[in-house]
Structure 1
Amino acid sequence: MIFELRTYTVAHGQMTSYLDRYEHQALPLLRKHLGRFLGFYVSEIGPLNQVLHIWAYEDLTDRQHRRAELDADPAWHAFKELNAGTFVHQEVKIMRDLPFSPQWL
């Protein structure tokens, strides 16, 4: 099992509109194509204006296949156009669990 942690720093003053777009436009598409949505979080202490989403995949091949399906969806491209200019920084990490890690799935 691998986990994708996506951290985005949202431009100042754009968090409310981003969260609305994400919840109503992006999230339904992401759930449809990516599957296991583990959580969505916003920062309160430390670097501000950040959001973190976590997705789970069987392995890198599963992730690659699911991301390719998402990228083939015209609605996803429409969302990305609406969302252009929202982020000032993006970080993506792929993490793997260890045998002693709690199994939440």
Structure 2
Amino acid sequence: MLLDHRTYTCRPGTLKKHLAIYEEHGWAVQTRHLGMPLAYLTTETGDVNTYVHIWMYEDAADRARRRAAMQADPAWVAYLQMSADAGYLLKQENKLMNPVSFVPAPLRASGP
């Protein structure tokens, strides 16, 4: 299993606006291609302008296949343009992570 841990930082005061655009235009198309995320979280303490989501894949090939399909979807391309035009995001950090052997794996990746 491969986990894709993503942290996004928004300009102060824009997190709710950014997530509203995603909820309306990005969520359905992204989950259609990637399945349901393991987690989608906003920060309670610390840098309150950040949010995290974690996606599960069987392996790197599964991740590449699903993400390529999503990137080719006109609805996803349109969402990315809306997000860019809004200008709310400051930075993005991605980490590909593997579960350790001595802790039970999260629910198996489920997707198309």
Calculate the aligned-residue CA RMSD, in Å. Answer: 1.1
Does 2:99 match 1:88?
no
Deviations 1:49-68 (A, max 9, x none): 00100100000110000000
Runs of 4+ in structure 1 deviating by more than 6 angstroms, as ranges, are none
Q: Which runs of 5+ in 1 are unaligned?
A: none
Distance 2:106 2:12 in 1: 34
Does 2:13 match 1:13?
yes
TM-score by length of 1: 0.93
Contact 1:36 1:57 survives alignment (8 Å): no
Distance 1:58 1:104 in 2: 12
Q: Which runs of 5+ in 2 are unaligned?
A: 108-112
Distance 2:80 2:31 in 1: 16
Counterpart position of 1:100: 102
Choose 66-75 or 19-28, whichever is displaced more.
Answer: 19-28
Identity of matched residues, %: 40
Distance 1:64 1:86 in 2: 27
Choose 31-40 or 61-70, whichever is displaced more.
Answer: 31-40
